[in-house]
Amino acid sequence: MDEKFDAIVIGAGPSGNAAAYTMAKAGLKVLQIERGEYPGSKNVQGAILYSKALEEIIPDFRDDAPLERHLIEQQMWVLDDESYIGTTFRSAEFNQQPYNRYTIIRAQFDKWFSKRVQAAGALLVCETTVSNLIMDGKRVIGVQTDREGGAVYADIVVLADGVNSLLAKKAGFHAELEPKDVALAVKEIHFLPEETIQSRFNIGEGEGVVIEMAGKITQGMMGTGFLYTNKDSLTIGVGCMLSDFKQQKITPYMLLEQMKAHPAIKPLLAGGEMKEYTAHLIPEGGYKAMPQLYGEGWMIVGDAGMFVNAVHREGSNLAMTTGRYAAETVIALKEKQLPMTAANLAIYQGRLEDSFVMKDMKKYKNMPEIFHNNNHFFTTYPELLNRAAHTMLTVDGVDKKTKEREIRKSFKQRRSLFGLMGDAYKMWRAFE
């Protein structure tokens, strides 16, 4: 078949959907190819949706998008083996519309998004895997799929195929991912009645809580855990760097099992039925691990381009924003009837640099290394913090001053003052 499209988008995750929607809406002839059975079928996960990025694309998304709960409270826990110390931020402002953050179930959200994409006029083909990019010299002119008669052509190919983009690798746009640049996250969804969730987390109908966790739950590995409240389920998961898993010889599954057994977490899940278990990679290499993002006839968006802010657990918003920028780049060139050459597509890079996307990516560029080279963040500190809290809060006749001294001593014993200062400084530098 010699059908030619203005653009082919590979992948129907948030980035691919954003790109396909934006281009189709502008009247371009768009083909979107997804290897899953339906969009979201490979992405069955509870997650946080940041409204802003989606609003830019579909302003009225709140009308019919499958949103679970809007978040009114954020907790941060640092866990020891038996305890946790943490902060809670809850604000009535979060309860004012339009809400800023929601929990979503990706399988349903992606499906909804895709319906909008199709309504905008893009042609979606599922259960079809793009096996290769078709090249004319250095230029990408189409894609080869795994089906009979499966070559399709387009002026531009947008790679939105997620973390571990095999296509980008095959085409040489992207080096092999290194285990130190990707996290492996596992998670489960546990079903609980809506009312149980609301009373357990002290929230009303439609309101949600997020708990971010760090500390000994990752057993010294670089990573974090999380718990989200959905409408009638909880998403619980943990992610650590692939390189750490390799080294520590702990399976992600075991890690999650131990985490669920933590005395602070277990009662939150009690009585729930585990529905599904999924594992997924997250590209966390940050700015330094980013590939070339465009070239002759192609662009990379979303996870495929390492657009993830691991510290703030942002990914889908970057995916949608990069997808939109890529699409707007194509639309602008089409309007001016300019070819999709690397030189012309450089607009895309420019848009990224000018926006929060690259600014954030750059800001946190040193984070991965700092955490990597210092596992005290995941072992020693949580223990010390928890012990300190325990010491202070136990009323046992010892005066507070002595307690403080003991705490200081224990900190110094476990980690030299110099080391402590150094870590603090590095953290500050990384966040700054």
Ligand X SMILES: Cc1cc2nc3c(=O)[nH]c(=O)nc-3n(C[C@H](O)[C@H](O)[C@H](O)COP(=O)(O)OP(=O)(O)OC[C@H]3O[C@@H](n4cnc5c(N)ncnc54)[C@H](O)[C@@H]3O)c2cc1C
Catalog residues that contact ligand X under the rule CB under 6 A: 10-16, 33-36, 42-43, 45, 47-48, 129-130, 160-162, 167, 185, 187, 237, 239, 280, 282, 302-304, 308, 313-317, 319
Q: Does 235 bind another protein (CB under 8 A)?
A: no
Asked if residues 71 and 118 have their Cβ atoms less than 8 Å apart, the reply is no
134 binds, among another protein, ligand X, none (CB under 5 to 8 A by kind): none
Tokens of 21: 């929607």
Q: What is the DSSP string of 340-392?
A: --HHHHHHHHHHHHHSHHHHHHHHTTTHHHHHHT-GGGTTHHHHHHHHHHHHH
**Closer to ligand X by Cβ: residue 85 or 182:** 182
Which residues lie across from 33 on neighbouring strands?
Answer: 10, 125
Q: How far apart are CA 69 and CA 100, in angstroms?
A: 11
Scanning the structure block, which residue is given the tokens 């870590």?
Answer: 423
Residue from 7, 44, 85, 234 touching another protein (CB under 8 A): that is 44
**AA letter at 345:** L
CB of 122 to ligand X, least distance (A): 14
107 contact, one of another protein, ligand X, none, CB 5-8 Å limit per kind = another protein
Give yes or no for residue 117 binding another protein (CB under 8 A): no
Tokens at 313, concatenated: 């657990």
Strands 298-300 vs 294-295: parallel, antiparallel or unpaired? antiparallel
Q: Is 41 in the site for another protein (CB under 8 A)?
A: yes
Q: Distance between CA atoms of 237 and 79, rounded to whole angstroms? A: 15
Query: Applying CB under 8 A, which part among 142-150, 317-325, 385-393, 404-412 lies near another protein?
Result: 142-150
Q: How many residues touch another protein (CB under 8 A)?
A: 25
d(CA 195, CA 258): 27
Q: By CB under 8 A, is residue 191 in contact with another protein? A: yes
Cβ closer to ligand X: 289 or 388? 289
Residue 147 binds another protein, judged by CB under 8 A:
yes
Dist. CA 260–CA 350, nearest whole Å: 44
Phi, psi of 385 (to 5 degrees): -60, -45
Residue among 37 and 178 whose Cβ is closer to another protein: 37
- Closest contact distance (angstroms) between CB of 43 and ligand X is 5
> What is the rounded CA–CA span in Å between residue 83 and residue 385?
10
Among 28, 107, 265, 347, binds another protein (CB under 8 A): 107
Contact call for residue 282 and another protein (CB under 8 A): no
Residue placing its CB nearer to another protein in the complex, 2 or 60: 2
In the complex, the smallest distance separating the C-beta of residue 129 from ligand X, rounded to whole angstroms, is 4
Element (H, E) at 426: helix 417-431
Q: Which residues bind another protein (CB under 8 A)?
A: 1, 3, 37-38, 41, 44, 105, 107-108, 123-125, 128, 145, 147-152, 191, 271, 273, 275-276
